[in-house]
A and B are shown apart, each in its own frame.
Chain A
Amino acid sequence: MADRDGHPAPVSTAHGFGRVLVAVYGLFALAATSRSVVQLATRFHEAPLAYLLSAFSAVVYIVATVSLGRGDVTSRRIATVAISVELVGVLVVGAASELSPEVFRHPTVWTGFGSGYGFVPLVLPFVGLWWLRHTRR
């Protein structure tokens, strides 16, 4: 199928810049998953809230990576939801960790708006949503 400019539509989210974006998402999926596996397996009792949040962020990154990487119409919807959740997550956890640091002494990817990861977790959902918009046509 093509639109009147002759471009194929819809555009996959997995090509061009999307190739790099999926790689960055994959990296965060890997980082968040391994961090939360270690946290849950070795010291869950120390900070259940922070470690469950770690696990939750890991799931969000995995879903975003896979759905952006598949790039079909259904995946695009799933990606939009996952990345929106990611955006809310990093903003809420970031703000909460500033307001009550004693609850977030044990770090998650989203603590301090992702300061432990060069604030990439804060920028990433904006880039992801922009990319979904950009490829929507």
Chain B
Amino acid sequence: MTRIGVVTGPYATAIIVVALIFAALALILAALDRPAGLGVLAGGAVLEALLMIFAVGGVVQMVGSGHDFARAEFVGYLLGCVAIPPIAFAWGRGESSRAGLLVIALAFLITPVMVVRVQQVWAGPLG
């Protein structure tokens, strides 16, 4: 039976797309010097939910797999994925100016990098 992995399949791609869409929204609002608003907050919540499922699915995928890869790093990147958006929102919302939005945009932009790193660690040899 071929199973589509959470980490390697279209689900991961969907996370990247969602993150980039909301990164664009946050950057546009920052450029217009508008407040963050509900759209950005909702985007953060949606992304965080997707990332939690991604992390749980990733661990399940890891446990069910026999192949040799850097498991500690893999789990570390999955935890990082889940941790970054809430920290960024907490820090970014401490400031109502455009800088706060840029912090949140940074979190949205870094998420695709983290997802790709998870995939690289999954695919790559130890090292």
Seen from chain A, the residues whose Cβ lies within 8 Å of a Cβ on chain B are 15-20, 22-24, 26-27, 30, 34, 37-38, 41-42
Least CB separation from A46: chain B residue: B127
A residues less than 8 Å from B87 (CB atoms)? 26
Of B76, B79, B95, B99, the most chain A CB neighbours within 10 A belong to B99
B residues less than 8 Å from A18 (CB atoms)? 99
Q: Are A19 and B92 in contact (CB under 8 A)?
A: yes
B residues less than 8 Å from A22 (CB atoms)? 91
B residues less than 8 Å from A23 (CB atoms)? 88, 91-92, 103, 106-107
With A26-B87, A34-B80 already in contact, the answer to whether A20 and B103 are too (CB < 8 A) is: yes
CA distance A30 to B97 in the complex (A): 25
Majority SS at the chain A contact face:
helix
Q: Are B99 and A19 in contact (CB under 8 A)?
A: yes
Nearest CB in chain A: distance from B124 CB, A: 13
Q: Are B91 and A19 in contact (CB under 8 A)?
A: yes
A residues less than 8 Å from B84 (CB atoms)? 27, 30
Of B76, B77, B84, B87, the most chain A CB neighbours within 10 A belong to B76
B residues less than 8 Å from A24 (CB atoms)? 106
Q: Are A19 and B80 in contact (CB under 8 A)?
A: no
Q: Are A27 and B106 in contact (CB under 8 A)?
A: yes
Q: Are B103 and A38 in contact (CB under 8 A)?
A: no
